[in-house]
Structure 1
Amino acid sequence: MAKKKRSYSDAADSLRGVSTLAEAKAWMAARGITEIECVVPDLAGVARGKIMPVSKFLSGPVMNLPLSVFFQTISGEYPPYDGLVDSVVVDSDLVMEPDLSTLTAVPWAQDPTAQVIHDAYHRDGRPVELAPRQVLKSVVELYAHKGWKAVVAPEIEFYLVEPNTDPDYPLKPPVGRSGRPEIGRQSYSIQAVNEFDALFEDIYDYSEAQGLEIDTLIHEDGAAQMEINLLHGDPLVLADQVFLFKRTIREAALAHKIYATFMAKPIADEPGSAMHIHQSIVSAETGKNIFSDDEGDPTPEFFSFIAGQQKYLPAVMSILAPYVNSYRRLTRDSMAPINIQWGYDNRTAGLRVPPSSPAARRVENRVPSSDANPYLVIAASLAAGYLGMAEGLRPTQPLEADAKFLDFELPRGLLEAVAAMQHCDEIANVLGPSFVKTYSAVKQAEFETFMRVISPWEREYLLLNV
């Protein structure tokens, strides 16, 4: 059957995405859109860009931003540029072109506003290797060359906390509709979720207005800790959705005078927040899951994918756990993994194979934290699996015991993780040498900023005792 050609009216009815600038014009006219947010995700997954009138966007949708937008640390500083880029062009403009398939509403804006995610190009037309969206596209292309397509499904955990305007004070759970803050652990509690019904109704409404699909919402282990699961699909589409979901959840929470935080370990005595990534690989030609054979048994590719994760996830740990705070989550007495053992339905291992039919056989990477850039974390995880299949690696035996009593196999801190990536040529070849060099410099600069801060622990135990 021939595919139906979409008309302008079809595009105007769509909640998310168009194909042409003419369709974008019709889409925005149908909604009375007056402004558009032109955004590009930076290395931290922060939305950078410009807000402009719709008329300006339609007259020339390309915008310019300096190359330095991909060098900025989370604190707004920059590492030394020496050895990273040509000093003559360090502040040169990049060309940002909109991906019109990401066009959608900004439902929390006061005036009718749209948003569209952009890709970054050099002025000669080359994609910017440092751009997180491009890093993920490059990994997806490696799979395409093999006749494969990756399928992912992220799970994002986050905390709701009281507004905190003084960073010296610890975070606390917010007050719900009962008038009391949550104190004890309420895993999977419907009642605990109902405490914030009004907020979650807004999250669902905002998501629907953007064409974002939530699979499930649950209460996680921590006090006022929640998890949203997304439907499985294309890696770039899902990374875009996580990027937009983070904005959506934060904005909805602020409207209710609550903070939503994706910090990996925001509260000392509570579990950390993860971004679990479910991964499977299908044949681009047949759509069949290559992790299962015709008899429904696991294939060599399945085991090699796991082996690649075991070998290379430690080398991309600075992407999976990108901040000093991220490593506070990865402790033996928490729910987070401390190694890259794997097992069938074993949630204590870094790699879990969930119960499923052969067609849905997949590998869950439980190592990443929720503070990670979704584009980079999906790219890094898929890169590790790709290398395992390309090299024909074999994994360890599946673990049935509690993995948290085994040895640490992951870097314990940010600088150790950065060094692991810098010394892994295979990862540099997949993610790009210039990306690895720049990303490492940004992480090292962020660590130096952290080292300028004196923590309460130091004042508590060192002030009068040493």
Structure 2
Amino acid sequence: MTDFISQLPDTARDWLKGRRLDEVECIVGDLAGVARGKAMPASKFAKQSHFYLPNSIFLQTITGDWASLEDQPFTEPDMVLTPDFSTATAAPWTADVSLQVIHDINDQQGQPVPVAPRNVLKRIVALYAEMGLTPVVAPEMEFYLVAPNVDPGHEIQPPMGRTGRRAAARQAYSMAAIDDFGAVIDDIYDFAEAQGFEIDGILQEGGAGQIEINLRHGDPVLLADEIFYFKRMIREAAFRHESYATFMAKPIQDEPGSAMHIHHSVVDAKTGRNIFSNPDGSENESFAHFIGGLQRHLPAAVALFAPYVNSYRRYVPDYAAPINLSWGRDNRTTGLRVPISGPEARRIENRLPGMDCNPYLGLAASLACGLLGLREKIDPSPEFTAEAYTQEADIPTTLGEALDLFEEDKALHELVTEKFTETYLAVKRLEYKGFMQVISPWEREHLLLNV
């Protein structure tokens, strides 16, 4: 066991000091971003170099059904999973002493499995590296704390705060609102510290019980790993205090949705210089082309940013979510916002992704669109300086429409691979088909006796 302990990050080793490690959770993120894998005694983990999972885990829908592909072997062949020790981190909410370790996923010939979301993101980062570039991202995480909901037939309610009253909406940036859920926030901070994660800030958003956590900028794969871990950790912190944490894009009617805004910049791999800025500090063609790539290819990528039928309930005017691909400086009504910054920190914020997306796929898709802009030298539209909510929507408004657009964008397929595209479309079309067979309360209320 000593050998693998020496390979752990400093934060994991520090957390283990004075503790006896009981269990290791060997995990990967599936297509939805759900943690899959095996838990095993630490003594067994120390003696093995890898383990196996069937490749069919990437064909499972969010409802537990299984999509089928023409070339999918009925034998469900195993993939080879090897630990990426740089990802090892504590699971501080468990009763025993446990570590989590994200694993790399290869086929039996040693090649990366193309449908694994983490591999998709690694591929996009590698394509930047081939051009001598390093992408840098800074994600924002929005989520709701809600009252426990054990009956899907009941509407979701805001949680009870320390005052004994339910959380109120329209309290954006209120410190009192954050304090109302101080016990959950304290656990989030404590868990994050134990896991070695750096939180840039926590604030109250506009919805009732809606919170935003900002992460510092950095490597896309590292930050996607952290969001993957954060989702589980935040849920565990909420469970401790008789509430749920939900990352649904739109959990409560008439409240704002939850986004995963992504800030992007790109630096020269050799010099570390931000390629969006000229030596005199002005914006350059690369900056414009990155925006142009986002504008041209984001409609197809929305299927990855908004992966469920509920995701499209977020894209409504005046609820802090974009409805088009306009870009503007310091304009939060546009889908693409250029925040105030100096030349070295010049960046573009993509406000389309929802918090329900798989973080690996959300980051991969956004970076892929920008990369296509750099490659194809795509010019953006003129800057939009008015209120973008007053414009017509130019993004898909249903999952079915989004999947059709994704299927048509061959340039995007080339970057994320055809195999991933085929698998993703099969899973999401099966989910959509299942949803379309459900009759909602709205239909029974308004159509049963009136049409």
- TM-score scaled by length of structure 2: 0.97
1:188 lines up with 2:173 in the alignment: yes
Among 363, 369, 375, the residue aligned to 1:390: 375
Q: Percent same amino acid at aligned positions? A: 52
1:38 counterpart letter in structure 2 = C
1:165 lines up with 2:150 in the alignment: yes
TM-fit CA distance, 1:8: 9.5
Among 10, 13, 34, the residue aligned to 1:14: 10
Instruction: Name the CA distance, whole Å, in 2 between partners of 1:268 and 1:429.
Output: 38
Q: Is the 8 A contact 1:223 1:270 kept in 2?
A: yes
TM-fit CA distance, 1:11: 6.2
In structure 1, the residue matched to 2:61 is: 73
CA 1:357–1:221: 2 relative to 1, 3 Å: same
TM-fit CA distance, 1:452: 2.3
User: How many residues get paired?
Assistant: 449
Name the SS for the 1:144 alignment partner. Answer: helix
CA 1:246–1:12: 2 relative to 1, 3 Å: closer
Q: Is the 8 A contact 2:84 2:102 kept in 1?
A: yes
1:43 lines up with 2:31 in the alignment: yes
Instruction: Name the CA distance, whole Å, in 1 between partners of 2:8 and 2:402.
Output: 46
2:105 counterpart letter in structure 1 = A
CA 1:38–1:8: 2 relative to 1, 3 Å: closer
C-alpha offsets along residues 408-459 of structure 1, whole Å, 9 cap, x if unaligned?
1101110111111111110110000010011011000101111222111101
Q: Is the 8 A contact 1:11 1:27 kept in 2?
A: no
Name the SS for the 2:46 alignment partner. Answer: helix
1:211 counterpart letter in structure 2 = G
Which aligned pairs between 1:319-398 and structure 2 lie closer than 5 A?
A: 319-398=304-383
TM-fit CA distance, 1:30: 5.6
Which aligned pairs between 1:31-430 and structure 2 lie closer than 5 A?
A: 31-81=19-69, 83=70, 85-89=71-75, 91-430=76-415
2:237 counterpart letter in structure 1 = A
TM-fit CA distance, 1:32: 1.2
Segment drifting more, 177-186 vs 194-203: 177-186
Q: Is the 8 A contact 1:305 1:388 kept in 2?
A: yes
Instruction: Name the CA distance, whole Å, in 2 between partners of 1:38 and 1:46.
Output: 13
- TM-score scaled by length of structure 1: 0.94
Instruction: Name the CA distance, whole Å, in 2 between partners of 1:27 and 1:201.
Output: 18
C-alpha offsets along residues 128-179 of structure 1, whole Å, 9 cap, x if unaligned?
0000000000000000000000000000100010000000100011111111
Instruction: Name the CA distance, whole Å, in 2 between partners of 1:45 and 1:440.
Output: 16
Instruction: Name the CA distance, whole Å, in 2 between partners of 1:305 and 1:228.
Output: 26
1:61 counterpart letter in structure 2 = S
In structure 2, the residue matched to 1:3 is: none
Q: Is the 8 A contact 2:15 2:90 kept in 1?
A: no
CA 1:107–1:353: 2 relative to 1, 3 Å: same
2:73 counterpart letter in structure 1 = S
C-alpha offsets along residues 36-55 of structure 1, whole Å, 9 cap, x if unaligned?
10000000000000000111
Q: Is the 8 A contact 2:53 2:80 kept in 1?
A: yes
C-alpha offsets along residues 390-410 of structure 1, whole Å, 9 cap, x if unaligned?
001100111110111111110
Q: Is the 8 A contact 2:113 2:119 kept in 1?
A: yes
1:308 counterpart letter in structure 2 = G
Q: Is the 8 A contact 1:188 1:218 kept in 2?
A: yes
Name the SS for the 1:59 alignment partner. Answer: coil
TM-fit CA distance, 1:61: 3.2
TM-fit CA distance, 1:13: 7.8
Name the SS for the 2:188 alignment partner. Answer: helix
C-alpha offsets along residues 174-217 of structure 1, whole Å, 9 cap, x if unaligned?
11111111234101000000001111000000000000110010
Name the SS for the 2:245 alignment partner. Answer: strand
1:48 counterpart letter in structure 2 = R
Q: Is the 8 A contact 1:156 1:370 kept in 2?
A: yes
Q: Is the 8 A contact 1:212 1:241 kept in 2?
A: yes
Name the SS for the 1:420 alignment partner. Answer: helix
1:464 lines up with 2:449 in the alignment: yes
2:56 counterpart letter in structure 1 = S
Moved over 2 A (4+): 7-13, 26-31, 85-89
TM-fit CA distance, 1:324: 0.1
CA 1:190–1:27: 2 relative to 1, 3 Å: closer
Name the SS for the 1:138 alignment partner. Answer: helix
Instruction: Name the CA distance, whole Å, in 2 between partners of 1:330 and 1:8.
Output: 46
Instruction: Name the CA distance, whole Å, in 1 between partners of 2:4 and 2:254.
Output: 54
1:203 counterpart letter in structure 2 = I
In structure 2, the residue matched to 1:20 is: none
TM-fit CA distance, 1:12: 6.8
Structure 1 unaligned blocks of 5 or more: 1-6, 17-23
TM-fit CA distance, 1:276: 0.1
Segment drifting more, 448-457 vs 164-173: 448-457
Q: Is the 8 A contact 1:307 1:393 kept in 2?
A: yes
Quote the RMSD (CA, aligned, Å): 1.6
Q: Is the 8 A contact 1:162 1:173 kept in 2?
A: yes
TM-fit CA distance, 1:15: 1.0
Q: Is the 8 A contact 2:59 2:68 kept in 1?
A: no
CA 1:316–1:337: 2 relative to 1, 3 Å: same
Instruction: Name the CA distance, whole Å, in 2 between partners of 1:57 and 1:109.
Output: 18
CA 1:32–1:363: 2 relative to 1, 3 Å: same
CA 1:96–1:10: 2 relative to 1, 3 Å: closer
Instruction: Name the CA distance, whole Å, in 2 between partners of 1:15 and 1:35.
Output: 17
Instruction: Name the CA distance, whole Å, in 2 between partners of 1:97 and 1:402.
Output: 49
